Chain A
Amino acid sequence: TQLLEQSPQFLSIQEGENLTVYCNSSSVFSSLQWYRQEPGEGPVLLVTVVTGGEVKKLKRLTFQFGDARKDSSLHITAAQPGDTGLYLCAGDSGGSNYKLTFGKGTLLTVNP
């Protein structure tokens, strides 16, 4: 069974601070996806990383896929209250199986 460990589980910071959340596994994934889920909503896809060592930027968010495709990180610069939410990473094991393995998430609170 493939597992994804996310850390930290909870993070409360002040507006303007930077933060990094991590998603780690002992298994190799074909791709890793990051989702953000706001209270009362379903998860919304932020990015997919496919290539080992890949870095993608989405405004103030920077996503990195580890060289061995076993881990990923999400860095947020100058966090804003609108960044508050549950950040989930999800791994795709590849092949014809479309199942995703989800981490437990990082609950981020950005205080004004």
Chain B
Amino acid sequence: SAVISQKPSRDICQRGTSLTIQCQVDSQVTMMFWYRQQPGQSLTLIATANQGSEATYESGFVIDKFPISRPNLTFSTLTVSNMSPEDSSIYLCSVEASRNKKTQYFGPGTRLLVL
């Protein structure tokens, strides 16, 4: 399985500011995913990020609010822009499994609190 790390692991931010979350994988993967997990809720897919192309956003999420970069096959960033308290959440990146593409491996998450 892939080993995924995220930075920062947690942060407390002021409203109106932006935070960039990094996701690093120990192997090359085609597809990376960004999820949001609000308190007591399940995982909601924000966008799918393929290397060399623009991210594909799910309904309710827009590039201006959540810009994503995917510069190579092992790295991606998600920026949460112009934050409000409603953005307080856990942000998770995941990657497709290489042998069985029906499964995903997740990073440990970034816990964000917006004041």
Contact = CB atoms under 8 A, between A and B. Distances in A.
Interface of A: 30-31, 33, 35, 40-45, 48, 50, 88, 90, 92, 98-100, 102-105
* Prevailing SS type, chain B contact patch: strand
Q: How large is the interface on B (under 10, 10 to 19, 20 to 34, 35 or more residues)?
A: 20 to 34
23 contacts: A30-B102, A31-B102, A33-B102, A40-B111, A41-B109, A42-B107, A42-B108, A42-B109, A44-B106, A45-B103, A45-B104, A88-B42, A88-B43, A90-B43, A92-B102, A98-B31, A98-B33, A98-B96, A98-B101, A100-B104, A102-B43, A102-B44, A105-B42
A2 to B, nearest CB: 12
A41 B42 contact: no
Contacts of B33: 98
Interface of B: 1, 4, 31, 33, 41-45, 48, 92, 94, 96-97, 100-109, 111
Most chain B CB atoms below 10 A, which of A35, A42, A88, A90: A42
Nearest to A9: B40
A31 B44 CA distance: 19
CB-based closest 6 A-B pairs: A42-B106, A104-B42, A102-B43, A102-B42, A92-B102, A43-B106
